[in-house]
Amino acid sequence: MKGITNLKQYNAEAPCLFIVLPDQILQYEYLSEDFSGLFIVMSKKFTDNLLMNIQERVPLFLSVYDNPWTQLNEEELQSMIDYYRLLQKTIRMKDNPHRIDIVKHLMQAFFYGSSYQFHKIPDTDKKSKQELVVEKFLKLA
């Protein structure tokens, strides 16, 4: 997939995980003929309630904002597919009064389990001293 998020161009290679944050616009320029994807769409209100602690939210937000996609190996891809199916199954349990809470906790587990991948910053993405100072300041909050 080739596209632009917030005026920054990306060439994501399969298999990968691509996250578009609330208020971001993803404009795709090219999808290969064999492209297939699984999508999870959440409201801003729901995502805001997932990570309540600002010390958890800001580093993840900054990492995903700067690097919205990460490569997956086969094991990670299979884990993502299994997770997606579990989430789908939970959402379809219309008669379960705890369905929303289950989905919330599954999403939290997903973020805790996969967020480390977004903190791996490639050497090619050198940041200015000002950007590094701002990130350190936000991590102190």
Q: What is the pLDDT of residue 93?
A: 96
Could you report the per-residue pLDDT of 38-49, keeping only the tens digit for each? 998 988 888 888
Q: Which residue has 């995502």 as its token pair?
A: 47
Q: What is the pLDDT of residue 129?
A: 73
Residues of the chain with pLDDT under 70: 52-57, 115-128, 139, 141
How many Å apart are CA 139 and CA 141, to the nearest integer? Answer: 6
pTM over 0.75: no
**What is the domain partition of the chain in residue ranges?**
2-73+116-140
Task: Tokens for 121, please give them.
Answer: 């910053």
